[in-house]
A and B are shown apart, each in its own frame.
Chain A
Amino acid sequence: MSPSHTEVWLSRSLWLLASSAVALLLLIFLFLINESRLAVVDAHWLRFFNSPGWFPSAGQFNLWPMLLATVLATVGALALAVPMGLAAALFVSFFAPAPLATTFRRLLMLLAGIPSVVYGLWGLTVLVPLITRVAPPGASLLAAMLILAVMILPTVALTSEAALRTVPVNYWRGGQALGLSAQAILLKIALPAARTGIVAGVLLATTRALGETMAVLMVAGNVVQVPGSIFDSVRVLTANIALEMAYATDAHRASLYVSSLMLTLVVVAIVLLGRRLEAKQ
């Protein structure tokens, strides 16, 4: 049986679209490598880790504090948003009465759709002054974690809720028939059954947190340093690019492309790690 005309047409156009997406990604990668090259030709690549600090005008290009800050802010945000998001998802899926569940879901979707700069402005004018009262300067790693947590919470909650919805009702009924408590059914049956979807949602949230620029730029304080506490000001890689790209030339500019490359590699590493987790299951 030969495939119909429509089928051939559909498969060809899908192939074209899919491969252009891949090509685009590769092009971006090659572009980043090409632009970063300038920063390494006249000096060793290790200078991005062992310079005394980040003072491009003085030829010092240490990216390590910013890489660390990026990872810390993301981990902190996940530590807050994942439990809360999961709790929200479980509540909506199993406990909330239907009208409340619908309202709650709509609110989460609304929250997911707010532009990051709005979160940033709110953070700068409300959250940062609040933290300032406890521990100046206020603009800090903590502020970045909180803002990112609020931003990724809806992603975690919505994807987890979608994953939980695919768990067959029979599992729940089976658990009840075996006389299991609600807690046991949730933790031992529902969550493991929805695990793949939940992990995918957390990955999505992680990459969003890593790549977030404006909101973090506005609340994190942007001092390039290894933070001694969560009240210290930090600068993340994306904020560094946004702050300095417009005014950077030559080696400074190239080293900003190195920041982008590094961030891309971190995201690639996390996606691969996520694959591993899924495969193990």
Chain B
Amino acid sequence: MRVSVLIALCWSLPLISVSATAADANKLTLTGSSTVAPLALDLGKRFEKLNPGIRVDVQAGGSSRGLADARAGLADMGMVSRALKPEESDLSSYVLALDGITIILHKSNPVKALSNEQIVAIYTGQISNWKTVGGKDLPITVVNKAEGRSTLELFLQYFKLKSPDVKAQVVIGDNQQGIKTVSGNPGAIGYVSIGAAEFEEEDGTPIKLLPINGVAATVANVRNRSFPLSRPLVLVTRAPATGLTKRFIGFAQSRHVYDLIQDQFFVPVAH
């Protein structure tokens, strides 16, 4: 991983430092979604390194703050972790990456698919044994994400649940912990980023990814936007981007940052 970062750095260094001489301002401010913020921080750090003298300031505060700040001109770019609504079309938007999550089970679990209603019933504690949904006679261990995590937010939003409705047996922090918890418990059900789960499954970790609404959970399906439980991560600007902002967006959508996007288990978009 570290080697690939280095290679990407060396490769993009001469390209971008040449164009860096024509800086029109030396500070960029991004505010908004806490999902996008860690990625924006990484992008900012690399952008600063490639463009000496430029400062990239990232502040998290939710997608609505990102939209409001971009519209009011308080930030050069707003970070938004959902598709824009029609009434928000006054802003220019630039997709950075896609984020998809899916349900994972232990590999030994014979259940092949779950309907949305079954998933909701399991997560609210109405179904507590796998035999109810056609599996073995085994108690279900519900694995949920900790409060504040964006995956939790997306999951709750898609299944129209509220945080206190979820009756979990295990609460986890990051994707890795979720995958380790499910792979060590034959009765567990959890949800994690598709990028992380697909990588681990190919690596031989005993988990399996369930389809959502009949669509297979693969990075490819997230990329072609057919996977339902996914969302775009977007940068918005008040007017079509110019100058330094435009350069930053160009950099953030380029192939040189795919490693940063994948480090966060998001899916890069081909532009």
Contact = CB atoms under 8 A, between A and B. Distances in A.
A28 interface: no
Contacts of B180: 124-125, 218
Interface string A49-63: 000111111101000
Interface in A219-273: 221-224, 233, 235, 242-244, 246-249, 252
Contacts of A139: 169-170, 181
A186 to B, nearest CB: 42
Given A58-B164, A125-B180, A247-B148, A138 B172 contact: no
Interface of A: 52-58, 60, 124-125, 128-129, 132, 136-139, 217-218, 221-224, 233, 235, 242-244, 246-249, 252
B148 A128 contact: no
B169 A233 contact: yes
Contacts of B141: 132, 136-138
Nearest to B35: A247
B162 A58 contact: yes
Given A221-B170, A223-B170, A244 B148 contact: yes
B163 A136 contact: no
B162 A243 contact: no
Contacts of B60: 247, 249
A136 B169 contact: yes
Contacts of A138: 141, 184-185
Interface residues of B, number: 29
B164 A56 contact: no
Interface string B159-188: 000111000111111000100110011111
Contacts of A249: 34, 60-62
Given A58-B164, A223-B171, 16 more contacts: A55-B164, A56-B147, A124-B181, A128-B181, A137-B185, A138-B141, A222-B146, A222-B172, A223-B168, A243-B147, A246-B148, A247-B34, A247-B60, A248-B148, A249-B60, A252-B147
Interface in B30-71: 34, 60-62
B184 A223 contact: no
B131 interface: no
A139 B170 CA distance: 7
Given A55-B164, A136-B185, A137-B188, A233 B171 contact: yes
A138 B194 CA distance: 25
Nearest to A232: B169
Contacts of B184: 124-125, 128-129, 132, 138
Nearest to B156: A57
A67 to B, nearest CB: 17
Nearest to B169: A137
Given A247-B34, A247-B148, A249-B61, A242 B173 contact: yes
Nearest to A243: B146
Nearest to A240: B146
Interface centre among B138, B171, B177 (most CB of A within 10 A): B171
Nearest to B171: A222
Among A52, A56, A136, A249, max chain B CB count under 10 A is at A136
B139 interface: yes
A243 B188 CA distance: 20
A246 to B, nearest CB: 8
A235 B171 contact: yes
**4 residue pairs, one from A and one from B, having the closest CB atoms:** A247-B148, A222-B171, A137-B141, A243-B146
Contacts of B169: 136-137, 139, 221, 223, 233
B149 interface: yes
